[in-house]
Amino acid sequence: MMMDEAQEPSPIDPRNRLNDLSGREWTYALRSVISTRYPTRGPEAYAHHLRRLHPSPKPPQLMAELVRFFTKRGGHVLDPFAGVGGTLIACSLEGRSAIGVDLSEVYAACYAEVCATLEIAPQPYIIGDSRHLQRYPAITAQRFDLILTDPPYAQMLAKPKTGERKKRGQGAATPFTDSADDLGNLGYWEFLSALRDLFANTIPLLRPGGHLVLFTKDLQPSPDHHNMLHADIVANLRDLPGLEYRGYQIWHDQSQNFYPFGYPFTFVANQVHQFILIFRYRP
Ligand SMILES: C[S@@+](CC[C@H](N)C(=O)[O-])C[C@H]1O[C@@H](n2cnc3c(N)ncnc32)[C@H](O)[C@@H]1O
């Protein structure tokens, strides 16, 4: 269904305590595949030329859609894996307040430069380890409506690429940081367990009825495991006290390149999508 801009906006249901969307906007936001091709140049690129310093920056427009669905104007958002600020920029655009945390001073500095370029006030950004958020009173002093975040995809980016991408000279590993505290430098099962511990401490920072929305990608299957990281994350988090798994949406990123993986021998998936996993906190 496409929104018809010519139609009058439909009213907001007075019982709606989640967001400021009309019934029509709500219905559109529920589509199971969000397919996008955001510009990487010009004002709609939101300083992509700076943000591309990061190996996996999230488009602010995409994060803004989620912010609009899972919060009301003036809502509070936490991103414990903030990178160069996809979530934080979205919150500035949508009139929400946010706090970001990331291990990397380089990404924090990049976010500050992006804000200066876009002429938006930077949201608070803590350089630190999100496994220990209780160290930061600025975070523990409030309750959030939404944790919107994009953790590492286990070790996906910390490993050199093989096959077609290696042949094309694009095989270098692109770890987020070289820190031992970086969850992206952990093996698959260690990563899952660290992520679970992190969210066990972080979920109680949500207000009752608040949401955890997180991005992830699957890894290629190996002989010993399917490596559907999205399914393993759900299985690992869904029994945290008060956390209810609500389902997922798929983000289809049309700007991703296709490679002839496996050609001419066997099927190898070319992943041009990510999973957006949605949980609600009902303590
Ligand atoms: C997929 S990226 C997030 C990108 C972000 N959404 C953006 O738009 O730039 C994951 C981030 O997690 C950070 N990270 C990894 N382990 C961390 C930890 N223990 N505490 C805080 N940040 C961490 C990495 O530095 C990296 O920037």
Q: At what angle do helices 60-70 and 86-94 cross, to 10 degrees?
A: 60
Task: Tell the residue nearest (CA) to atom 27 of ligand 1.
Answer: 83
At residue 94, the pLDDT reads 98
Taking the C-alpha atoms of residue 42 and residue 17, their distance in angstroms, rounded to an integer, is 36
Taking the C-alpha atoms of residue 165 and residue 133, their distance in angstroms, rounded to an integer, is 37
- Cα(57) to ligand 1 centroid in Å equals 10
Residue 34 backbone phi and psi in degrees, to 5? -105, 110
Task: Tell the residue nearest (CA) to atom 15 of ligand 1.
Answer: 182
Cβ-defined contacts of 230-239 (< 8 Å, 24+)? 230/275, 230/277, 232/192, 233/192, 233/195, 233/277, 234/277, 236/192, 236/193, 236/195, 236/196, 237/195, 237/196, 237/199, 237/212, 237/279, 238/279
Is residue 246 scored above 50 in pLDDT?
yes
- Cα(10) to ligand 1 centroid in Å equals 38
The pLDDT tens digits of the residues spanning 16-67 come to 999 999 999 999 999 999 999 999 999 999 999 999 999 999 999 999 999 9
At residue 92, the pLDDT reads 98
- Homologous superfamily of the 42-281 domain (CATH): Vaccinia Virus protein VP39 (3.40.50.150)
At residue 174, the pLDDT reads 76
Atom of ligand 1 nearest to the CA of 54: 9
- Cα(249) to ligand 1 centroid in Å equals 21
At residue 175, the pLDDT reads 83
Atom of ligand 1 nearest to the CA of 84: 9
Task: Tell the residue nearest (CA) to atom 5 of ligand 1.
Answer: 83
- Mean pLDDT, rounded, for 184-193: 96
- Mean pLDDT, rounded, for 154-167: 70
Q: Nearest-CA neighbor of 214 among 73, 28, 79?
A: 79
Mutate which of 88, 176, 191, 197 for ligand 1 pocket (most atoms within 8 A of beta carbon) = 176
Residue 45 structure tokens: 């690129």
- Mean pLDDT, rounded, for 83-112: 98
Is residue 5 scored above 90 in pLDDT?
no
Going by pLDDT thresholds of 50, 70 and 90, the confidence category of residue 265 is very high
- Cα(251) to ligand 1 centroid in Å equals 19
Is residue 69 scored above 50 in pLDDT?
yes
Residue 113 backbone phi and psi in degrees, to 5? -65, -40
Atom of ligand 1 nearest to the CA of 151: 10
Of the ranges 4-18, 143-157, 223-237, which is most confident?
Answer: 223-237
- Cα(102) to ligand 1 centroid in Å equals 5
At residue 204, the pLDDT reads 97
> Counting Cβ atoms within 10 Å, is residue 210 exposed (0-12), middle (13-18) or buried (19+)?
buried
| Count of C-beta atoms within a 10 Å radius of residue 247 | 11
At residue 9, the pLDDT reads 67
At residue 1, the pLDDT reads 46
At residue 26, the pLDDT reads 97
Is residue 7 scored above 70 in pLDDT?
no
Average pLDDT, the chain: 93
- Mean pLDDT, rounded, for 143-159: 90
By the 8 A CB rule, do 35 and 60 touch? no
- Cα(59) to ligand 1 centroid in Å equals 15
Is residue 173 scored above 80 in pLDDT?
no
- Mean pLDDT, rounded, for 84-94: 98
Give domain limits for the chain.
Answer: 42-281
Atom of ligand 1 nearest to the CA of 157: 1
Atom of ligand 1 nearest to the CA of 86: 8
Q: Residues near ligand 1 with C-beta < 6 Å? A: 54, 56-58, 81, 83-86, 101-104, 107, 129-131, 150-152, 176-177, 181-184
Is residue 170 scored above 70 in pLDDT?
no
At residue 155, the pLDDT reads 83
At residue 223, the pLDDT reads 95
Going by pLDDT thresholds of 50, 70 and 90, the confidence category of residue 277 is very high
At residue 221, the pLDDT reads 96
At residue 199, the pLDDT reads 98
